[in-house]
Amino acid sequence: MSSPESEEYLCTYNIEVEGPSTKILQNTILLHRKKETNTLYTINALNSVVKSKNNGVLDNSYQIDWQEYKNSVLLTQPDGSLRKLNTAIHKIVNL
């Protein structure tokens, strides 16, 4: 078994939207999920992937090979570059 590339932990959660009064916790970001590959991503990261694969052109119809990003989180750095974090599930808690 290989050692982790970092000691960072992410805590993700699902929310049930129950109208306009639904609140999101402070200091969190909105992530989207591709269920088939267990990929979590921000829209900015998705745009960065498309541009990096499509010669710098943002094209909403570009088809991403999601297998390349299986079991990962895609984020953007402050400079706009893409950051891919490989993930492993540590624990699932149902409340």
**Reported confidence tier of residue 26, pLDDT bands at 50, 70, 90:** confident
Residue partners of 48: CB distance under 8 A and separation at least 6: 74, 76, 80, 81, 82
Q: Is residue 47 part of a domain?
A: yes
- Provide the CA 31 distance to its chain's centre, in angstroms: 6
Q: Is residue 20 part of a domain?
A: no
**Cα gap 72→1, rounded to integer Å:** 18
pLDDT at 4: 56
* Residue among 66, 22, 24, 17 nearest 45 (CA): 66
Q: Is residue 76 part of a domain?
A: yes
- The per-residue pLDDT for range 32-59, each reduced to its tens digit, is 999 999 999 999 999 999 999 999 999 9
Q: Is residue 33 part of a domain?
A: no
Residue with tokens 């694969």: 53
Domain extent at residue 50:
42-57+65-95
pLDDT at 1: 42
- Per the structure, the count of domains in the chain is 1
Whole-number average pLDDT of the chain: 86
Q: Is residue 16 part of a domain?
A: no
pLDDT at 82: 93
Mean pLDDT confidence for 5-26: 74
Cβ atoms of 39 and 8 within 8 Å: the answer is no
